[in-house]
């Protein structure tokens, strides 16, 4: 069964040498079947919650704008300021008693021959908002490039990749490559507070096969996931990967939102546009667990029950990499929200991440105008964080 499905993927790739969306099925690696992140064991959702955070999960509200910085509102009886204050309770205090990694160990699963910037942007953004350690799991062809971007990243070339000029290896050999890759990656997962799947992943069927297995094992271990970029292709192909998983945030743009809708049986009328975001809650409900962030003119954040809308002023320029920056911010904020005694409220964490990115990009555009790039936005994360989230 495994060899047949991998063979079909390779056959499609061999014919086109272009975008392969087929996801290979491989057997589960048993080496880490008992994997469980110690910081993610189930605990009371009421521990350490403020009344405003505790009440959010039971409320669904439509979006309304405010004139305050952020001009946003959401699913609680309050404003943008209330939501940001609620998340401040999740921000860990800095003290001499902290150990390395206590404020976040974020992993990025992605990075291939074509795309090396995306995992770098995601990892550095996680760092710039407060994560302690950043791991990048990428293909061998991407690893040296990403290492040269920054010595602050731990870069491991553990993802398999298809050959460029040669014919793909036999199906049995591909299966062994995927199994070997996954077996090397999975033990690292227990070290992480959150894993981002997708930045720079591309369309390599070898990478897709290994990534699917990693997602399944992280879910079994209750490790928080952020699925972005090419990782969304995996969900479109197999929604069951994240269906029902509440420790997960999915971040589609409007086009990707439409593809997820089709995969879960939600009908979207009309041509692609922001009107599709009206169905975000329905799509999230169909997924039955993950928080869905529908990125657009306003960011719609919903778990299928509560709905928040972030209308913080943002940049009018859509340069590449902004989605990767958001994914990294979310990973750090989710790491904090899922610490022992924290709120475990991924809606509030996601809202705060969207607000921080939008404010940072707005500031960066004010300085660079049309020349703004993702690195300019990352440079604004720390001062913006201090301004809006440090009390």
Report the predicted TM-score, pTM, of the whole model to 2 decimal places: 0.81
Mean pLDDT of 187-194: 94
pLDDT for res 170: 78
* 295 is annotated as contributing to ligand binding: yes
pLDDT for res 230: 96
In a domain? residue 108 = yes
In a domain? residue 275 = yes
* 299 is annotated as contributing to ligand binding: yes
Per-residue pLDDT for 317 more than 90? yes
Mean pLDDT of 53-78: 36
* Band of pLDDT at residue 67, cut at 50, 70 and 90: very low
* 345 is annotated as contributing to ligand binding: no
- Judged by DSSP in three states, 17 sits in coil
* 369 is annotated as contributing to ligand binding: no
Q: Kindly tell me the sign of the dihedral angle through the C-alpha atoms of 269, 274, 280, 283.
A: positive
In a domain? residue 72 = no
In a domain? residue 189 = yes
In a domain? residue 37 = no
- Cβ proximity of 13 and 162 under 8 Å: yes
* 265 is annotated as contributing to ligand binding: no
Q: Indicate the pairing of strand 133-139 with strand 225-227.
A: unpaired
In a domain? residue 31 = no
* 323 is annotated as contributing to ligand binding: yes
CA angle (376, 377, 382) in 5-degree steps: 105
* 316 is annotated as contributing to ligand binding: yes
Query: What percent of the chain is predicted at pLDDT more than 90?
Result: 69
More confident site: 169 or 196: 196
Of 328, 388, 5, 292, nearest in space to 197 by CA? 328
CA angle (221, 227, 233) in 5-degree steps: 115
Mean pLDDT of 210-220: 96
pLDDT for res 391: 57
Task: Give strand pairing partners of 196.
Answer: 108, 226
Per-residue pLDDT for 8 more than 60? no
Mean pLDDT of 256-277: 94
Domain holding 167, by residue range, is 100-390
Token digits of residue 266: 């939600």
* 55 is annotated as contributing to ligand binding: no
- Report the C-alpha gap between 224 and 36 in whole angstroms: 11
In a domain? residue 158 = yes
Residues 6+ apart with CB under 8 A from 141: 112, 113, 161
- How many Cβ atoms from other residues are within 10 Å of residue 107's Cβ? 32
Q: What is the CATH number of the domain that holds 291?
A: 3.40.1190.20
Of 157, 154, 98, nearest in space to 126 by CA? 154
* 270 is annotated as contributing to ligand binding: no
What are the Cα distances from residue 265, in Å, to 106, 253, 258? 32, 18, 10
* 176 is annotated as contributing to ligand binding: no
* 237 is annotated as contributing to ligand binding: no
* 324 is annotated as contributing to ligand binding: yes
Residue count of the chain, please give it: 391
- Cβ proximity of 127 and 107 under 8 Å: no
Strands (E), 175-263: 194-197, 225-227, 248-250
CA angle (178, 184, 186) in 5-degree steps: 95
- Cβ proximity of 344 and 118 under 8 Å: no
* 322 is annotated as contributing to ligand binding: yes
* 159 is annotated as contributing to ligand binding: no
Per-residue pLDDT for 122 more than 70? yes
* 74 is annotated as contributing to ligand binding: no
* 47 is annotated as contributing to ligand binding: no
- How many Cβ atoms from other residues are within 10 Å of residue 318's Cβ? 10
* 304 is annotated as contributing to ligand binding: no
* 31 is annotated as contributing to ligand binding: no
- Counting the structural domains of the chain, the total is 1
* 256 is annotated as contributing to ligand binding: yes
pLDDT digits (tens, 9 = 90+) for 335-383: 999 998 777 899 999 999 999 999 999 999 999 999 999 999 999 999 9
- Judged by DSSP in three states, 292 sits in strand
* 170 is annotated as contributing to ligand binding: no
* Band of pLDDT at residue 245, cut at 50, 70 and 90: very high
* 277 is annotated as contributing to ligand binding: no
In a domain? residue 169 = yes
């Amino acid at each position: 069964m495994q060899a047949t499905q991998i063979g079909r993927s390779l056959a499609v790739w061999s014919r086109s040498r272009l975008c392969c969306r087929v996801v290979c099925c491989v057997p589960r690696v048993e080496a880490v079947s008992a994997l469980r992140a110690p910081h993610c064991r189930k605990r009371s959702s009421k521990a350490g919650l403020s009344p405003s955070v505790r009440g959010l999960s039971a409320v669904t509200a439509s979006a309304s704008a405010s004139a305050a910085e952020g001009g946003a509102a959401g699913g609680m009886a309050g404003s943008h300021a209330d939501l940001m204050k609620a998340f401040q309770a999740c921000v860990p205090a800095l003290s001499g008693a902290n150990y390395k990694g206590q404020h976040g160990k974020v992993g990025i699963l992605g990075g291939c021959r074509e795309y090396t910037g995306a995992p770098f942007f995601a990892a550095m953004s996680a760092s710039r908002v407060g994560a302690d350690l950043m791991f990048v799991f990428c293909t061998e062809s991407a690893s040296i490039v990403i290492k040269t971007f920054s010595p602050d990243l731990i870069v491991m070339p553990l993802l398999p990749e298809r050959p460029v000029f040669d014919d793909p290896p036999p199906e049995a050999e591909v299966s062994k490559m995927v199994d070997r890759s996954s077996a090397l990656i999975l033990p690292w997962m227990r070290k992480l507070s959150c894993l981002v799947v997708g930045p720079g992943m591309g369309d390599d069927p070898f990478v897709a096969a290994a990534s699917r297995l990693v997602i399944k094992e992280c879910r079994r271990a209750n490790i928080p996931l952020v699925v972005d970029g090419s990782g969304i292709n995996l969900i479109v192909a197999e929604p069951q990967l994240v269906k029902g998983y509440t420790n997960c945030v999915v971040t589609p743009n409007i086009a990707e939102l439409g593809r997820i809708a089709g995969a879960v049986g939600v009908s979207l009328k009309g041509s692609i546009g922001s009107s599709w975001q009206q169905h975000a809650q329905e799509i999230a409900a169909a997924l039955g667990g993950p928080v869905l962030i529908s990125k657009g003119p306003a960011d719609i954040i919903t778990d299928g029950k509560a709905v928040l809308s972030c209308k913080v002023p943002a940049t009018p320029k859509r340069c590449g990499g902004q989605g990767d920056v958001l994914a990294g911010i979310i990973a750090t904020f989710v790491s904090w929200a899922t610490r022992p005694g924290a709120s475990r409220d991924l809606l509030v964490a996601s809202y705060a991440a969207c607000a921080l990115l939008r404010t940072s990009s707005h500031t960066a555009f004010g300085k660079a105008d049309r020349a703004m790039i993702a690195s300019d936005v990352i440079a604004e994360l720390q001062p913006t964080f201090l301004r809006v989230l440090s009390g």
